[in-house]
């Protein structure tokens, strides 16, 4: 009992004056007076009960029969009893305190559980993924918390992400990984909030657009902590792209409409003089024949014309003129017919679409498009002419929007010309001539249900990565200012969305590219 110090007891005989401390039931003196009425106490013992120097109580004993009853042996025993009593009292107080603490702890646990429940309910109703991300001073990363919506975004459970945060980091799209890492580095360097928009690829292969924001905090030990939110913005991105594509398609359609109006106006203005020239030529040839016959009659009637007439006939080479003029008129008539064909092709290409589909001759549309692009197909000082080979099948008239289909033919054939011109860069005229540039256009009917138009070139082709993106909005492999990345995207939209058809691409690197357009035949 060394840890429980017990002070020596106060021990009086019959003549000793007793102290007068106050107790719960009054003073000792009053108690003694009550005792004295029954008999004067002969022995009294008063001992403090202490625990680690702290007064817990007082032991008071008295005997009214015997003097000196509290011997030293008995006092020693009473000291032991006081020590045990001190321990018991302390334990009782500790137990009472423990009970109170347990009640408070239980109440705190209930309140904490309720708070956590409210937090989880709040987080689960937040549109997005709530998380806490940490990067220690040595560069190691961990996720201390992430909400259950983690699975909806990443196809990875919250438990998996917390166990190994690298799983989430590895899902960042390869093309966006550099910007993602840079955004984290910038946030750490400047201690500024983190923001990033990019793509992830889920384990099932789905590409999603994601936007993340987080508040940054640097702890004393050098650990950097981010509390943030991740949002799936795939639908928004898709809507933005569709809106932008629709706007650009409207702009492109307006341009095509303006071009169509211009071409239609030119064709109309050409028709009037062409009609006059054609009619005049038709009348000129028989008139020339009559004039020639009349001259021959003069020659027959005057076998010996004057010297002046003879000299003039030789000077103008009259015999050659009489033989050549009919040929010249025939050539002029052929040129006039060609101009008529050009005018007709221009009107076919520029025809305005109605708000409903009409029957259309696909071959006329292709021919008119080739005519419009004729200036790009001709030979120049850098290369020989690009040869266009048409293998037309027996096609029915197709219900479609002719103006839109002509735009598809224009975009695809122009793309083929671009591909051939690109492969000719840094080649000599002779080298290009040895491997002549060709565009082969083939049409056929498939199972009496679809009209197929194949437009193939013998350019350099494309790899799988480019082929996968060739119809993507704003994607282009051409130099700045050369292409907009809209032509093939618009063509695909016209064929598939407007005409319920299919536009696909086959390409072999080093051999060339083929675009296949399939449209319902009826």
pLDDT tens-digit readout, 140-151? 899 888 888 889
Start and end residues for every CATH 3.30.450.20 domain found in the chain: 129-232
Query: Is the model more confident about 505 or about 432?
Result: 505
> Which pLDDT does position 307 carry in this prediction?
78
pLDDT at residue 401 above 60?
Answer: yes
What is residue 255's three-state secondary structure?
Answer: helix
> Which pLDDT does position 261 carry in this prediction?
67
Give the confidence band of 413 by pLDDT, cuts at 50, 70, 90: very high
> Which pLDDT does position 354 carry in this prediction?
65
pLDDT at residue 475 above 70?
Answer: no
358-360 and 141-146 beta bridge pairing: unpaired
pLDDT at residue 174 above 80?
Answer: yes
Q: What is the C-alpha end-to-end distance of the chain, expressed in Å?
A: 109
Q: Average pLDDT, stretch 230-235?
A: 89
pLDDT at residue 440 above 80?
Answer: yes
pLDDT tens-digit readout, 289-303? 888 888 888 777 777
Q: How many Å separate Cα 459 from the centre of its chain?
A: 32
Query: Is the model more confident about 297 or about 193?
Result: 193
Give the confidence band of 442 by pLDDT, cuts at 50, 70, 90: very high
CATH of domain 10-102: 3.30.450.40
Q: Give the separation between CA 157 and CA 490, rounded to whole angstroms.
A: 40
> Which pLDDT does position 244 carry in this prediction?
76
> Which pLDDT does position 515 carry in this prediction?
93
Phi and psi for 155 in degrees, rounded to 5?
Answer: 65, 30
The percent of residues in the chain predicted with pLDDT above 70, rounded, is 81
For residue 455, the tally of other CB atoms under 10 A from its CB is 22
> Which pLDDT does position 264 carry in this prediction?
67
- Mean pLDDT across the chain: 80
Give the confidence band of 312 by pLDDT, cuts at 50, 70, 90: confident
Contacts of residue 309, defined as CB under 8 A and 6 or more positions apart, other chains included, come to none
pLDDT at residue 2 above 80?
Answer: no
Provide the angle, in degrees to the nearest 10, between the axes of the packed helices 234-301 and 402-423: 90
pLDDT tens-digit readout, 385-396? 899 999 999 999
Q: Give the separation between CA 113 and CA 431, rounded to whole angstroms.
A: 80
> Which pLDDT does position 34 carry in this prediction?
40
Number of residues written out for the chain = 522
pLDDT at residue 6 above 50?
Answer: no
Among candidate residues 245, 157, 256, 281, the one with its CA nearest the CA of residue 486: 245
Cα angle at 472 between 468 and 474, to 5 degrees?
135
Beta carbons of 41 and 123 less than 8 angstroms apart: no
Q: Give the separation between CA 37 and CA 261, rounded to whole angstroms.
A: 135
Give the confidence band of 346 by pLDDT, cuts at 50, 70, 90: low
How far is CA 410 from each of CA 145, 367, 376, 405, rounded to the nearest angstrom? Answer: 55, 11, 12, 9
Among candidate residues 449, 450, 457, 455, the one with its CA nearest the CA of residue 365: 455
pLDDT at residue 198 above 90?
Answer: yes
**DSSP output for 438-454:** EEEEEEEEETTTEEEEE
> Which pLDDT does position 123 carry in this prediction?
59
The kind and range of the H/E element at 78 are helix 72-125
> Which pLDDT does position 176 carry in this prediction?
93
Provide the angle, in degrees to the nearest 10, between the axes of the packed helices 402-423 and 362-372: 50
Start and end residues for every CATH 3.30.450.40 domain found in the chain: 10-102
Highest mean pLDDT among 3-7, 184-188, 330-334, 367-371: 184-188
pLDDT tens-digit readout, 41-71? 888 888 888 877 788 788 888 888 888 888 8
Contacts 24+ apart (CB under 8 A), 164-171: 165/133, 165/141, 166/141, 168/143, 169/141, 171/200, 171/201, 171/202, 171/203
Q: Give the separation between CA 498 and CA 206, rounded to whole angstroms.
A: 27
> What global pTM score does this model have?
0.48
Bridge partners, residue 507, by sequence: 513
> Which pLDDT does position 362 carry in this prediction?
92
CATH T-level fold of 356-522 = Heat Shock Protein 90 (3.30.565)
Query: Is the model more confident about 275 or about 516?
Result: 516
Start and end residues for every CATH 3.30.565.10 domain found in the chain: 356-522
Among candidate residues 255, 186, 245, 260, the one with its CA nearest the CA of residue 474: 245
Bridge partners, residue 61, by sequence: 45
> Which pLDDT does position 13 carry in this prediction?
41
Q: Give the separation between CA 206 and CA 346, rounded to whole angstroms.
A: 46
Contacts 24+ apart (CB under 8 A), 331-335: 332/277, 332/281, 333/278, 333/281, 333/282, 333/285
Beta carbons of 391 and 455 less than 8 angstroms apart: no
Query: Is the model more confident about 316 or about 232?
Result: 232
Burial class (CB in 10 A: 0-12, 13-18, 19+), 69: middle
Give every strand in the sheet of 450-457, ordered side by side.
Answer: 387-391, 438-446, 450-457, 512-520, 502-508
Query: Is the model more confident about 196 or about 104?
Result: 196
- Classify 129-232 by CATH class: alpha beta
129-133, 252-256, 348-352, 408-412: least confidently modelled range: 348-352
pLDDT at residue 171 above 60?
Answer: yes
pLDDT at residue 410 above 50?
Answer: yes
pLDDT tens-digit readout, 12-41? 443 333 343 433 333 333 333 344 445 678
Characterise 22 by phi-psi region: left (phi > 0), alpha (psi -120 to 50), beta (else): beta
pLDDT tens-digit readout, 71-109? 888 888 888 888 888 888 888 888 888 888 888 888 877
Phi and psi for 307 in degrees, rounded to 5?
Answer: -60, -35
Give the confidence band of 268 by pLDDT, cuts at 50, 70, 90: low
- CA max distance for the chain: 198
């Amino acid at each position: 009992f060394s840890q429980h110090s017990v002070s020596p007891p106060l021990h009086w005989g019959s003549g000793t004056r007793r102290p007068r401390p106050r107790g719960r039931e009054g003073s000792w003196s009053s108690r003694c007076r009550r005792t004295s009425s029954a008999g004067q106490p002969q022995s009294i013992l008063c001992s403090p009960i202490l625990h680690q120097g702290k007064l817990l109580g007082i032991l008071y004993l008295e005997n009214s029969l015997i003097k000196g009853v509290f011997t030293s042996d008995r006092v020693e025993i009473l000291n032991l009893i006081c020590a045990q009593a001190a321990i018991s009292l302390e334990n009782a107080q500790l137990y009472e305190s423990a009970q109170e603490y347990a009640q408070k702890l239980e109440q705190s646990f209930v309140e904490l559980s309720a708070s956590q429940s409210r937090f989880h309910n709040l987080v689960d109703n937040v549109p997005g993924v709530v998380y806490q991300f940490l990067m220690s001073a040595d560069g190691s990363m961990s996720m201390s918390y992430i909400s259950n919506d983690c699975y909806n975004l990443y196809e990875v459970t919250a438990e998996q992400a917390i166990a190994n945060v690298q799983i989430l980091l590895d899902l960042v799209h390869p093309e966006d990984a550099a910007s993602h890492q840079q955004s984290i580095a910038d946030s750490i360097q400047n201690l500024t909030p983190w923001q990033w928009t990019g793509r992830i690829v889920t384990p099932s292969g789905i590409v999603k657009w994601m936007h993340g924001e987080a508040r940054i905090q640097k702890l004393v030990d050098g650990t950097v902590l981010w509390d943030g939110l991740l949002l799936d913005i795939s639908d928004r991105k898709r809507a933005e792209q569709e809106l932008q594509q629709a706007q650009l398609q409207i702009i492109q359609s307006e341009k095509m409409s303006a071009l169509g109006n211009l071409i239609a106006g030119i064709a109309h203005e050409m028709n009037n003089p062409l009609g006059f020239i054609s009619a005049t030529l038709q009348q000129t040839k028989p008139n020339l024949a009559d004039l020639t016959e009349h001259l021959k009659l003069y020659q027959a009637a005057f076998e010996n014309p004057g010297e002046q007439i003879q000299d003039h006939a030789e000077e103008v080479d009259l015999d050659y003129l009489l033989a050549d003029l009919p040929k010249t008129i025939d050539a002029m008539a052929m040129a006039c017919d060609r101009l008529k064909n050009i005018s007709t092709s221009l009107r076919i290409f520029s025809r305005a679409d109605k708000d409903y589909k009409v029957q259309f001759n696909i071959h006329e549309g292709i021919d008119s498009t080739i005519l419009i692009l004729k200036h790009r197909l001709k030979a120049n000082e850098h290369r020989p002419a690009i040869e266009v080979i048409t293998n037309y099948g027996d096609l029915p008239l197709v219900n479609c929007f002719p103006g839109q289909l002509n735009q598809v033919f224009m975009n695809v054939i122009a793309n083929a010309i671009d591909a051939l011109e690109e492969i000719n860069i840094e080649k000599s005229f002779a080298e290009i001539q040895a491997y002549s540039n060709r565009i082969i256009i083939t049409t056929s009917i498939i199972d009496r249900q679809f009209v197929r138009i194949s437009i193939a070139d013998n350019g350099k082709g494309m790899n799988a990565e480019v082929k996968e993106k060739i119809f993507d909005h704003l994607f282009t492999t051409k130099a700045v200012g050369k292409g907009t990345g809209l032509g093939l995207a618009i063509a695909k939209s016209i064929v598939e969305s407007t005409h319920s058809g299919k536009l696909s691409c086959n390409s072999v690197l080093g051999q060339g590219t083929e675009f296949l357009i399939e449209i319902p035949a009826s």
